């Protein structure tokens, strides 16, 4: 049994994805809907901190002596109560220290008892017991405000980046609170040409001659890239903290971003977590490759990321498995289609290349090919492998199947109980699988002079029924379902829907169902053809 599946909950989101146009994310884009933390945080608390320890997503609510745990789908995974001895501790921004195995947290406190905050107090917190230990106090500008928003651990240099709420300056500190190399960083100036945060200025530390961003929220990548939020301005900026240079306008978020952290890998994509103050939700944003994942983490990627093919063609998808950037040979990869017209298709022995049984080669790669014969639509292809610890790692890509094919023909639908007035119906048509392809014609005649003439093809779906065989020419489909509008006996505004099948020659097994509705009366004709033929044609 697998210990964990590191597709990170995304399969549970497929229903959401399929209901809309499917677009793969790019760095800065959301890779899934925001996480709505359960419990108190989901009931309107002010969202401040977020951290990730490799398994749990930790988060805090303002003025609460707890650090709570969730995951990518918002599960309530419990909490720890934080205290230093008998004194409750309510941290705001938090960050995970993978070297020490502890959380770091920042809190604004009234150290002199006079009233009002005056000190930024930085703690380490035991993730099992909640025991907090003061590491240092500082009295920078911003330590007298309401919340502490900027804290991240640089495990490469064993230092901290720190910024009280809505400040001009980001500080680089040792874990004892002393200034480290390249301290301080003037965030307001770095975001001032042009001004990336109009109408948003630092509080208390604003330079009146500089129009730039206030900082609220920090995260550091393993590549040294610093991600910095901008409070209510809704921007996340990337910086080179060593050179003290602006790198990019990384992402736009809604609400008021308070804290940032490198997050889980989602379907092969590294992520940044961004906590919103107003809603409490956590945005999951794609991070640039190499920003957040340790080189020792096994990763699977798929290529092509998205593709479009004609119905009936073959499609090959290639998986690459690496560990620390090095290809992993001899790993079994399982491919499956989890949603779309070809849902249920899975890889099996003998179906892959280079190794027929889907084991990776010396380049860490294996490829699987399948045919898009089940109809138009978008397949979601998932590929997974298990590492030595039994954890399953997965990635997904999209495959859209379209058709420029068409069906032609017609004939007689014999009288029967299913037919209106027990009458026979005669029809003739040329209809494309893509409604934008022209021409599209359908005419239906019955009784004494009744005639329907299609004017607009509204929808068309071409699909393949495994119980039918269109024979020659092979078209990749045998069933045509459509809707449209037209004229009935010269009167416009009448709707129709139909399903035509092609089950080979000479046409006696071809079937038609046609329903025409004039707003009051429905006329229906259904049955196998007594003469005539339906012919599916491949794309030309």
Span 484-523, pLDDT tens digits:
999 999 999 999 999 999 999 888 999 999 999 999 989 9
Domains 34-286 and 406-537 share a fold: no
Give me the sign of the Cα torsion angle 449, 453, 459, 465: positive
Say which CATH class 298-402 falls into: mainly beta
Q: Please report where in the chains the tokens 């379907």 appear, as a residue.
A: 267
pLDDT level of residue 160 (50, 70, 90 thresholds): very high
Residue 74 corresponds to which tokens in the numbers above?
């918002």
- The helix (run of H) or strand (run of E) holding residue 15 is helix 14-18
Residue 247 has pLDDT above 60, yes or no: yes
pLDDT level of residue 165 (50, 70, 90 thresholds): confident
| Helices and strands counted in the chain (H then E) | 2, 39
Query: CATH fold of 34-286, please?
Result: Neuraminidase (2.120.10)
How far, rounded to the nearest angstrom, does the alpha carbon of residue 374 sit from its chain's CA centroid?
Answer: 25
pLDDT of residue 524: 94
Residue 20's CB: how many other CB atoms inside 10 A? 7
User: Are 236 and 230 within 8 A, CB to CB?
Assistant: yes
The structural architecture, per CATH, of the domain 406-537 is Beta Barrel (2.40)
pLDDT of residue 13: 29
- Integer-rounded Cα radius of gyration of the chain: 31
Q: Domain limits of the chain?
A: 34-286, 298-402, 406-537
DSSP 187: H
> 3-state DSSP call for residue 417?
coil
Residues 6 or more apart in contact with residue 348 via CB below 8 angstroms: none
Residue 169 corresponds to which tokens in the numbers above?
């300056």
Higher pLDDT, 526 or 472: 526
C-alpha to C-alpha distance for 466 and 477, rounded to whole angstroms: 10
Average pLDDT, the chain: 88
User: Are 217 and 259 within 8 A, CB to CB?
Assistant: yes
Residue 83 corresponds to which tokens in the numbers above?
């205290």
Average pLDDT of 16-30?
A: 56
Higher pLDDT, 310 or 43: 310
pLDDT level of residue 14 (50, 70, 90 thresholds): very low
Q: What is the pLDDT of residues 386-432, one digit of tens each?
A: 988 788 888 888 888 887 889 999 999 999 877 777 889 999 999 99
Can you name the residues that pair with 57 across neighbouring β-strands?
A: 52, 70
């Amino acid at each position: 049994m697998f210990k964990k599946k590191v597709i990170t909950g995304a399969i549970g989101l497929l229903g959401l994805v399929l209901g809309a146009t499917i677009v793969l994310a790019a760095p800065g884009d959301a890779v899934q809907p925001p996480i709505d933390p359960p419990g108190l945080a989901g009931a309107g608390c002010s969202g401040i901190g977020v951290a990730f320890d490799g398994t749990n997503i930790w988060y805090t609510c303002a003025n609460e002596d707890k650090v709570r745990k969730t995951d990518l789908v918002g599960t309530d995974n419990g909490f720890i109560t934080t205290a230093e001895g008998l004194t409750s501790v309510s941290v705001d921004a938090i960050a995970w220290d993978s070297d020490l195995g502890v959380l770091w947290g920042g809190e604004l406190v009234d150290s002199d008892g006079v009233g009002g905050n005056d000190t930024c107090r930085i703690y380490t917190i035991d993730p099992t017991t909640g025991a907090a230990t003061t590491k240092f106090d500082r009295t920078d500008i911003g330590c007298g405000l309401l919340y502490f928003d900027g804290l991240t651990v640089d495990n490469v240099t064993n230092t901290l980046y720190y910024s009280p709420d809505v400040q001009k300056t980001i500080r680089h500190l040792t874990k004892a609170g002393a200034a480290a190399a390249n301290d301080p960083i003037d965030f307001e100036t770095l975001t001032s040409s042009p001004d990336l945060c109009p109408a948003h200025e630092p509080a208390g530390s604003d330079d009146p001659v500089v129009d730039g961003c206030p900082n609220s929220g920090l995260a550091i990548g393993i590549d040294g890239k610093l991600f910095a939020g901008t409070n209510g301005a809704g921007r996340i900026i990337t910086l080179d903290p060593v050179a003290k240079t602006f790198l990019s306008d990384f992402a736009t978020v809604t609400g008021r971003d308070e804290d940032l952290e490198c997050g889980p890998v989602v379907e092969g994509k590294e992520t940044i977590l961004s906590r919103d103050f107003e809603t409490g939700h956590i945005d999951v944003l794609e991070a640039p490759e190499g920003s957040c994942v340790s080189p020792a983490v096994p990763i699977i990627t798929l290529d092509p990321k998205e593709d479009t093919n004609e119905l009936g063609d073959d499609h090959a998808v290639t998986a690459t498995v690496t560990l620390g950037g090095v290809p992993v040979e001899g790993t079994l990869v399982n491919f499956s289609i989890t949603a779309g017209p070809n849902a249920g298709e899975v890889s099996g022995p003998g179906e892959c290349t280079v190794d027929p049984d889907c084991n990776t080669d010396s380049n860490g790669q294996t490829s699987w090919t399948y045919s898009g014969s089940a109809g138009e639509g978008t397949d979601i292809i998932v590929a997974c492998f298990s590492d030595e610890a039994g954890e399953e790692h997965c990635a997904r890509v999209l495959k859209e199947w379209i058709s420029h094919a068409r069906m032609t023909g017609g004939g007689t639908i014999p009288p029967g109980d299913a037919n209106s007035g027990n009458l026979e119906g005669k029809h003739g048509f040329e209809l494309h699988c893509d409604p934008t392809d022209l021409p599209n014609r359908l005419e239906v005649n019955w009784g004494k002079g009744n005639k329907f003439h299609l004017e607009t093809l509204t929808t068309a779906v071409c699909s393949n029924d495994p119980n039918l065989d269109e024979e020659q020419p092979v078209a990749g489909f045998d069933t045509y379902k459509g809707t449209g509008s037209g004229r009935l006996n010269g009167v416009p505004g009448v709707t129709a829907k139909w399903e035509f099948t092609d089950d080979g020659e000479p046409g006696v097994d071809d079937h038609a169902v046609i329903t025409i509705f004039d707003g009051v009366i429905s006329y229906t004709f259904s049955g196998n053809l007594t003469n005539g033929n339906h012919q599916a044609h491949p794309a030309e």
